[in-house]
Protein backbone atom coordinates (compact mmCIF):
# COMPACT_ATOMS: atom_id res chain seq x y z
CA UNK A 1 0.00 0.00 0.00
CA UNK A 2 2.87 2.39 0.76
CA UNK A 3 4.30 2.39 -2.83
CA UNK A 4 0.80 3.10 -4.18
CA UNK A 5 0.38 6.05 -1.84
CA UNK A 6 3.79 7.38 -2.81
CA UNK A 7 2.97 7.20 -6.54
CA UNK A 8 -0.49 8.67 -5.93
CA UNK A 9 0.96 11.62 -3.99
CA UNK A 10 3.62 12.16 -6.65
CA UNK A 11 0.97 12.13 -9.39
CA UNK A 12 -0.96 14.84 -7.54
CA UNK A 13 2.26 16.83 -7.02
CA UNK A 14 1.92 16.53 -3.26
CA UNK A 15 4.84 16.28 -0.86
CA UNK A 16 5.58 12.65 0.03
CA UNK A 17 5.69 13.65 3.72
CA UNK A 18 2.07 14.82 3.77
CA UNK A 19 -0.15 12.80 6.10
CA UNK A 20 -1.81 9.73 4.60
CA UNK A 21 -5.05 10.61 6.38
CA UNK A 22 -5.73 13.28 3.78
CA UNK A 23 -6.00 10.52 1.17
CA UNK A 24 -8.57 8.58 3.17
CA UNK A 25 -10.93 11.48 3.69
CA UNK A 26 -13.68 12.31 1.25
CA UNK A 27 -11.34 14.51 -0.80
CA UNK A 28 -9.99 11.70 -3.00
CA UNK A 29 -12.49 9.00 -1.99
CA UNK A 30 -9.87 6.27 -1.41
CA UNK A 31 -11.16 3.55 0.90
CA UNK A 32 -8.92 1.92 3.45
CA UNK A 33 -8.07 -1.59 2.20
CA UNK A 34 -8.11 -3.02 5.74
CA UNK A 35 -11.66 -1.74 6.32
CA UNK A 36 -12.79 -3.04 2.93
CA UNK A 37 -11.34 -6.45 3.74
CA UNK A 38 -13.08 -6.57 7.12
CA UNK A 39 -16.37 -5.50 5.56
CA UNK A 40 -16.12 -8.24 2.91
CA UNK A 41 -15.29 -10.93 5.48
CA UNK A 42 -18.11 -9.89 7.80
CA UNK A 43 -20.53 -9.88 4.87
CA UNK A 44 -19.40 -13.41 3.90
CA UNK A 45 -19.89 -14.54 7.48
CA UNK A 46 -23.40 -13.09 7.56
CA UNK A 47 -24.17 -14.89 4.30
CA UNK A 48 -22.96 -18.14 5.92
CA UNK A 49 -25.21 -17.65 8.92
CA UNK A 50 -28.27 -16.70 6.88
CA UNK A 51 -27.95 -19.35 4.19
CA UNK A 52 -30.86 -21.79 4.00
CA UNK A 53 -28.98 -24.71 2.46
CA UNK A 54 -25.94 -26.83 3.14
CA UNK A 55 -23.70 -23.83 3.97
CA UNK A 56 -25.81 -23.09 7.06
CA UNK A 57 -25.65 -26.75 8.14
CA UNK A 58 -21.86 -26.80 7.77
CA UNK A 59 -21.54 -23.52 9.66
CA UNK A 60 -23.78 -24.88 12.43
CA UNK A 61 -21.64 -28.02 12.75
CA UNK A 62 -18.47 -25.93 12.90
CA UNK A 63 -20.00 -23.69 15.56
CA UNK A 64 -20.93 -26.77 17.62
CA UNK A 65 -17.38 -28.09 17.22
CA UNK A 66 -15.95 -24.77 18.43
CA UNK A 67 -18.40 -24.75 21.33
CA UNK A 68 -17.21 -28.22 22.34
CA UNK A 69 -13.52 -27.36 22.00
CA UNK A 70 -13.97 -24.29 24.20
CA UNK A 71 -16.33 -26.19 26.53
CA UNK A 72 -19.16 -23.64 26.44
CA UNK A 73 -22.80 -24.15 27.41
CA UNK A 74 -24.00 -22.12 24.41
CA UNK A 75 -22.80 -21.03 21.00
CA UNK A 76 -19.93 -18.60 20.60
CA UNK A 77 -22.31 -16.38 18.63
CA UNK A 78 -24.23 -15.62 21.81
CA UNK A 79 -21.48 -15.96 24.38
CA UNK A 80 -17.95 -14.94 23.52
CA UNK A 81 -15.53 -13.51 26.02
CA UNK A 82 -11.94 -12.39 25.48
CA UNK A 83 -10.91 -14.39 28.56
CA UNK A 84 -11.67 -17.72 26.83
CA UNK A 85 -8.59 -19.82 26.34
CA UNK A 86 -8.19 -20.34 22.60
CA UNK A 87 -6.22 -23.51 21.79
CA UNK A 88 -3.32 -23.01 19.38
CA UNK A 89 -5.05 -25.20 16.79
CA UNK A 90 -7.91 -22.69 16.61
CA UNK A 91 -5.82 -19.52 16.23
CA UNK A 92 -6.55 -19.37 12.47
CA UNK A 93 -10.15 -20.63 12.56
CA UNK A 94 -12.25 -18.44 10.21
CA UNK A 95 -15.46 -18.60 12.23
CA UNK A 96 -13.70 -17.86 15.51
CA UNK A 97 -11.82 -14.95 13.94
CA UNK A 98 -15.07 -13.57 12.55
CA UNK A 99 -16.72 -13.77 15.97
CA UNK A 100 -13.73 -11.99 17.54
CA UNK A 101 -13.77 -9.32 14.82
CA UNK A 102 -17.49 -8.72 15.24
CA UNK A 103 -17.05 -8.45 19.00
CA UNK A 104 -14.18 -6.01 18.51
CA UNK A 105 -16.27 -3.87 16.14
CA UNK A 106 -19.27 -4.18 18.51
CA UNK A 107 -21.41 -5.91 15.89
CA UNK A 108 -24.12 -8.14 17.32
CA UNK A 109 -26.35 -10.64 15.56
CA UNK A 110 -29.94 -11.67 16.00
CA UNK A 111 -29.31 -15.40 16.24
CA UNK A 112 -31.99 -17.97 15.42
CA UNK A 113 -32.52 -20.75 17.95
CA UNK A 114 -30.92 -23.47 15.82
CA UNK A 115 -27.56 -21.64 15.98
CA UNK A 116 -27.69 -20.95 19.73
CA UNK A 117 -27.16 -24.61 20.68
CA UNK A 118 -27.85 -24.15 24.39
CA UNK A 119 -26.86 -27.06 26.62
CA UNK A 120 -29.40 -27.29 29.41
CA UNK A 121 -28.28 -28.56 32.76
CA UNK A 122 -28.17 -26.17 35.64
CA UNK A 123 -27.92 -22.48 36.34
CA UNK A 124 -24.58 -23.03 38.08
CA UNK A 125 -21.70 -23.28 35.64
CA UNK A 126 -18.34 -24.40 36.95
CA UNK A 127 -16.81 -21.70 34.73
CA UNK A 128 -18.69 -18.99 36.60
CA UNK A 129 -19.33 -20.33 40.11
CA UNK A 130 -16.45 -22.54 41.17
CA UNK A 131 -13.28 -21.69 39.29
CA UNK A 132 -11.56 -18.48 38.31
CA UNK A 133 -10.99 -17.90 34.61
CA UNK A 134 -7.36 -19.00 34.91
CA UNK A 135 -8.26 -22.14 36.87
CA UNK A 136 -10.99 -23.03 34.41
CA UNK A 137 -8.68 -22.54 31.43
CA UNK A 138 -6.11 -24.83 33.07
CA UNK A 139 -8.64 -27.57 33.83
CA UNK A 140 -10.89 -27.22 30.77
CA UNK A 141 -9.49 -30.32 29.02
CA UNK A 142 -10.04 -32.49 32.10
CA UNK A 143 -13.57 -31.19 32.62
CA UNK A 144 -14.35 -31.87 28.96
CA UNK A 145 -12.88 -35.39 29.20
CA UNK A 146 -15.25 -36.16 32.10
CA UNK A 147 -18.17 -34.24 30.53
CA UNK A 148 -18.47 -31.93 33.53
CA UNK A 149 -19.87 -28.47 32.86
CA UNK A 150 -22.28 -27.72 35.73
CA UNK A 151 -21.70 -27.61 39.47
CA UNK A 152 -24.68 -29.95 40.02
CA UNK A 153 -22.69 -32.71 38.32
CA UNK A 154 -20.21 -32.59 41.22
CA UNK A 155 -22.64 -32.55 44.14
CA UNK A 156 -24.58 -35.39 45.75
CA UNK A 157 -28.38 -35.29 45.79
CA UNK A 158 -28.64 -33.21 48.95
CA UNK A 159 -26.40 -30.61 47.28
CA UNK A 160 -24.64 -30.11 50.58
CA UNK A 161 -21.39 -31.91 49.70
CA UNK A 162 -19.22 -32.49 46.70
CA UNK A 163 -19.43 -35.91 45.12
CA UNK A 164 -16.10 -37.70 45.61
CA UNK A 165 -16.85 -40.77 43.54
CA UNK A 166 -17.22 -43.37 46.33
CA UNK A 167 -20.57 -42.31 47.86
CA UNK A 168 -22.64 -44.80 45.87
* pLDDT tens, residue by residue, 19-78: 766 665 555 566 667 778 888 999 999 999 889 999 989 999 999 999 888 888 888 888
For the chain, what's the residue count? 168
Q: What is the pLDDT of residues 66-91, one digit of tens each?
A: 988 888 888 888 877 777 778 788 88
Where in the sequence is the domain holding 140, given as residue range(s)?
Answer: 121-168
Across residues 102-124, what is the average pLDDT?
A: 81
What pLDDT, on the 0 to 100 scale, is given for residue 168? Answer: 42
145 within some domain = yes
Domain boundary among 104, 119, 134: 119
Does one domain contain both 113 and 142? no
- pTM flag (> 0.75): no
Domain match, 57 and 132 both: no
Regarding whether 145 and 100 lie in a shared domain, the answer is: no
35 with 88, same domain?
yes
- Whether residues 113 and 46 share a domain: the answer is yes
Q: Is 161 in the same domain as 88? A: no
Quick check: is 67 in a domain? yes
Amino acid sequence: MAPFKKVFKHGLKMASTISDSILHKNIYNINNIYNNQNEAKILNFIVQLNDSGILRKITRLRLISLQDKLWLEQSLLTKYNESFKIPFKLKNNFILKMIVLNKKLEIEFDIKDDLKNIIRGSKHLIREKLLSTTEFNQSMDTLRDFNIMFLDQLTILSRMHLYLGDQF
